[in-house]
Amino acid sequence: MIWGPTQKIIFAIIVLLCINYLTLVIIDKYAATQTSPEYSEGFEGTIKDGSDTTLYTWITDPVLIYDDFYAGIYDQLTNQIQRTQAKTALLMNLWTKDKTNSNPSTWSILDAGCGTGHAVTTFAKMDVGRIIGLDSSPAMIRYAEKTVVPAAKLKPQQLSNIRWRTDTFKNPSACSAGEFNHIILLYFSFYYIENQEEFFRFANLWMKPGGKLVIEVVNKYKFDPILESASPFVAFSLQKYSKERLLKSKVAFDKFEYEAEFQLSDPKAEFYETFRFKNNHVRRQKHIFHMPTIEAIVRMGKTAGFKYVGYQDLNALGFEYAYLLQFER
């Protein structure tokens, strides 16, 4: 049977109705998780699971959080590899339009808070002359070197352009004066920095004149804090279809169950993660984010001597209410 235009339209409508129905069913499931006693709030800054939350010990030191265990599951948990590669390509496109310095082979780039190193290897594949991956976690650097770099299948020259440094943003000597053409802080790297004004001053010191500083930020009131690994659909946000903001993630892995919750206590935020292993061991860790308004971040940059160039909306990359702010030294 050959369908005419009318039958095709009717079929498309039926498919859309089915998708909407499935979405509503999933949202009901998430809403139930949000309000079930197992996930009710305890005292401020904790997640209650049926016992006295005041007895819990939460890991808060980023170096302890980002250990070998967490480094090994980070990419699977956050599901950010392809998005990081897309951000890197976006930045390359912007920077090569600068006719005063459009040759990537002459650039030196700092990925501050490089994590598992996917932006670093992507820049290397694009033949950037020198890329430094800086992170305070030795475990994340080890994972980048031993797992991510070999998987990237870089050419010998590309591989030789990569360097790794284990240091913090608090150390002005982590990098040399005028060392970089461009500096990037992707995902939530900037929000881990407690003294953000100080970081802007350090970045100004580390950059060459005319260099670009790029910082990823979010609208803290509207972005989706649900990890993509907890979403039933790839690149699909349930937030659009929920009356209330969804703040909790829950994922079942082979060796453990994972739960997470985002709590905003303006201007700070806390991201709680709980790992329940099959041997009854429980690991709890808390990320502390310093989240001023986007306008305040722009002011910090200007105060430190940067020119605010503008922003790139990341909605096209599937991350709503997230932006790349670009400053020029």
Q: At what angle do helices 196-206 and 294-303 cross, to 10 degrees?
A: 50
Least confident of 29-33, 61-65, 131-135, 215-219: 29-33
| Residue-level pLDDT at 243 | 55
Least confident of 5-9, 48-52, 65-69, 145-149: 48-52
pLDDT over 70 for what percent of the chain?
78
| Residue-level pLDDT at 237 | 53
| Residue-level pLDDT at 22 | 45
Q: Where are the domains of the chain?
A: 70-220+293-328
**Helix or strand holding residue 50 (H, E):** none
| Residue-level pLDDT at 101 | 85
Strand order in the sheet with 268-277: 248-252, 256-265, 268-277, 282-290
- Per the model's pLDDT, the better-predicted residue between 194 and 245 turns out to be 194
pLDDT tens-digit readout, 21-47:
444 344 344 433 333 323 222 223 333
| Residue-level pLDDT at 273 | 96
Domain 70-220+293-328, classified CATH 3.10.20.30, yes or no? no
- State the pLDDT confidence band at 110, using cuts at 50, 70 and 90: very high
- Please list the residues that pair with 328 across neighbouring strands: 212, 307
User: Quick one: CA dihedral 249, 252, 258, 259, positive or negative?
Assistant: positive
| Residue-level pLDDT at 140 | 98
DSSP summary character for residue 310: E
Statement: residue 3 has pLDDT above 70: no
Statement: residue 48 has pLDDT above 90: no
Q: Residue range 107-128: average pLDDT?
A: 98
CB 300 within 8 A of CB 293: no
pLDDT tens-digit readout, 231-275:
554 444 544 544 566 789 899 999 999 999 999 999 999 999 999
| Residue-level pLDDT at 271 | 96
Q: Tell me how far CA of residue 220 lies from CA of 114, 245, 291, 320, 323, in angstroms.
A: 22, 12, 7, 11, 11
| Residue-level pLDDT at 227 | 80
**Helix or strand holding residue 192 (H, E):** none
DSSP summary character for residue 293: -
Statement: residue 96 has pLDDT above 80: yes
Which tokens sit at 290? 């310093």
Statement: residue 54 has pLDDT above 80: no
Q: Residue range 96-117: average pLDDT?
A: 94
pTM: 0.81
Least confident of 52-61, 68-77, 310-319: 52-61
Statement: residue 281 has pLDDT above 50: yes
Which tokens sit at 2? 């050959």
| Residue-level pLDDT at 1 | 52
Left, alpha or beta for 4 (phi > 0: left; psi -120 to 50: alpha)? beta
Q: Within a 13 Å sphere around the CA of 144, how many CA atoms are in the beta-carbon half?
A: 28
Which tokens sit at 125? 């594949």
| Residue-level pLDDT at 247 | 86
CB 196 within 8 A of CB 218: no
Per the prediction, the chain carries an average pLDDT of: 85
pLDDT tens-digit readout, 60-80:
999 999 999 999 999 999 999
- State the pLDDT confidence band at 98, using cuts at 50, 70 and 90: confident
